[in-house]
Amino acid sequence: MEERSLPATLLAIDDDPDILKVLKANLELHGFKLQTAASLAEARKLLEAGRPDLVILDLMLPDGDGLEFCCSLKSLHPQLPVIMLTARDKISDKVVGLELGADDYMVKPFETSELLARIKARLRSAVVPTERKQLLKAGTLEIDQRNQTVTVAGAEVYLTAKEFQLLSCLVENRNNLVTRDEIRKRLWSDSKIYSWSRVIDVHIQHLRQKLEQTPGKPRHIITVPGRGYRFEE
């Protein structure tokens, strides 16, 4: 396993400002970089800007349920460690949390030393992306998963967060069909977007305009009528 050359970036999502202050003081003291969010909306904005190395997640938040958010987050980033930190102390809550994808579960009040140990353990055991996974290549197209950038023949192409996620989904499954429902679940699992929604087509159109030499006659981003899309090299 590779060693980290930079301090790990953590994201703490909790609506209690005192908890966030305690986490920030203690974790930064131990060399971590901590981002904080008091709501799921704030967390989504931070996640769109860049993926952290680990997420600390409360379950009871003002604008949504932490369990549903965890499930959605894990569908997009399966290897991203999530530690649930919550006042819910029932065994049933722990079981559900772990079954929905959480890597660890701690109950408040908590000892910061124990949380620190669990964070370090999760970071050690996290799957370190290989060069192949970090950098997806298809012809002259390169997708840098870590830095969330896309280049074509060495020239950077600006994509929105959703466009980047959609392109990554297609290239990861290159030469294979990706159904509209699979796209919906990966990109909009926590929203009321249906598989037949025109939103998907609009994003595909934008990708073609940015990446295809002839958007009207795409060579790479191919429509499979009535089913979905396929990225061909």
Residue 44: predicted pLDDT:
92
Give me the residue spans of the domains in the chain: 9-125, 131-231
DSSP letters for 62-110: TTEEHHHHHHHHHHH-TTS-EEEEES---HHHHHHHHHTT-SEEEESS-
pLDDT interval class at 94 (50, 70, 90) = confident
pLDDT for the residue numbered 83: 94
* pLDDT at residue 135, as a whole number: 83
Given pLDDT bands bounded at 50, 70 and 90, which one contains residue 90? confident
CATH number belonging to the domain at 131-231, selected among 1.10.10.10, 3.30.565.10, 2.40.50.180, 2.30.30.90? 1.10.10.10
13 confidence band (pLDDT: 50, 70, 90) = very high
Cα distance between residue 95 and residue 108, in whole Å: 16
* CATH no., domain 9-125: 3.40.50.2300
Domains 9-125 and 131-231 agree in fold: no
Among 223, 196, 188, residue whose Cα is nearest residue 208: 223
Q: What is the mean pLDDT of residues 131-145?
A: 78
**Is the confidence at residue 189, as pLDDT, over 90?**
no
Percent of the chain with pLDDT over 70: 90
Amino acid 128: pLDDT = 47
Instruction: Quote the pLDDT of residue 132.
Output: 41
Mean pLDDT of the chain: 85
Model pLDDT, residue 197 = 66
**pLDDT at residue 100, rounded to an integer:** 80
Is 50 exceeded by the pLDDT of residue 166? yes
pLDDT at 179 over 70: yes
Which pLDDT score, from 0 to 100, does residue 75 have? Answer: 76
- pLDDT at site 130: 43
Q: How confident is the model at residue 194 (pLDDT cuts 50, 70, 90)?
A: low
The per-residue b/e assignment along 161-171, b for 16 or more CB within 10 angstroms, e otherwise, is ebbbbbbbbbb
Collapsed DSSP state (helix, strand, coil) of residue 9: strand
In this prediction, residues 143-163 reach a mean pLDDT of: 88
Task: Fill in the DSSP letter of residue 19.
Answer: H
Amino acid 101: pLDDT: 81
Q: How confident is the model at residue 49 (pLDDT cuts 50, 70, 90)?
A: confident
Q: Which is higher by pLDDT, 13 or 90?
A: 13
CB 10 within 8 A of CB 32: yes
